[in-house]
A and B are shown apart, each in its own frame.
Chain A
Amino acid sequence: MAMAANEIEDLIRAALPDARITVEDLAGDGDHYAATVTSEAFRGLPRVRQHQLVFQALGGRMGGQLHALALQTAVPDQETA
């Protein structure tokens, strides 16, 4: 039930075309990832809404098929503050 890192990246990019995305496989098991997503779409939104946009892009896989995704979101000029 695991997902490949590029699959995660592709799903996010499909929803947020401008996004700069890094996906790291934390445990090497295709099940525990850390992602950073930087996109203009996040500007002005609280973190909860930013993360919800990413979960939406993943189309319900988060919490199911995708067990663990540590997520950090940022807008382009802010990066990870």
Chain B
Amino acid sequence: MTDPTTARIQNDITTNTVMLYMKGNPQFPQCGFSSRVVQILNHLGVQYQSANVLEDPALRDGIKQFSNWPTVPQLYVGGEFIGGCDIVTEMFQSGELETLLKEKAVV
């Protein structure tokens, strides 16, 4: 028995190599932390799919449960949870993020 939100998330992260759960959308991020992750992904020129948790309360709670992570944004690459804003920023600065995205052939 999988609830619809869990099923949705599982589908999101398997069909999209780079999947970002955020507040707002890439054009209009509604939180500074989400905005920072969007900027990093755009800077790296990566194709990604995003979901706006502010439009879906079930998703907003569900993604926190799913990842065992208390905050949004949350970035998934190749079906794996990468982290939130701090980890994404750290990995961007060290070059790890670009290496990972190259491995997954999305940049």
Q: Which residue numbers of A lie inside 8 Å of B, CB to CB?
A: 47-48, 51-52, 55, 60, 62-64, 68, 70-72, 81
Judged by DSSP, the binding face of A is mixed
Cα separation A49 to B84 with both chains bound (whole Å): 12
Q: How many residues of B contact A (CB 8 A)?
A: 16
Beta-carbon contacts under 8 Å, B70-101 to A: 70-71, 81-87, 90-91, 94
Scoring A48, A55, A62 by chain B CB atoms within 10 A of each residue's CB, the highest score goes to A48
Cα separation A72 to B89 with both chains bound (whole Å): 11
Name the contact of B87 in the complex, choosing from A51, A55, A81 (C-beta under 8 A): A51
Q: List the 3 closest pairs (A to B, CB-CB), nearest first.
A: A63-B70, A62-B70, A63-B71
A-B pairs with CB below 8 Å: how many?
Answer: 32
A70 in contact with B86 (CB, 8 Å)? yes
B68 in contact with A52 (CB, 8 Å)? yes
Cα separation A55 to B70 with both chains bound (whole Å): 8
| B4 CB, min distance to chain A CBs, angstroms | 23
- Is residue B102 contacting chain A, with contact meaning CB distance below 8 A? no
Cα separation A71 to B81 with both chains bound (whole Å): 17
Instruction: List 4 extra interface pairs beyond A47-B87, A48-B81, A63-B70, CB under 8 A.
Output: A47-B91, A48-B83, A48-B87, A81-B94
In the complex formed, the residue of B with least CB distance to A68 is B33
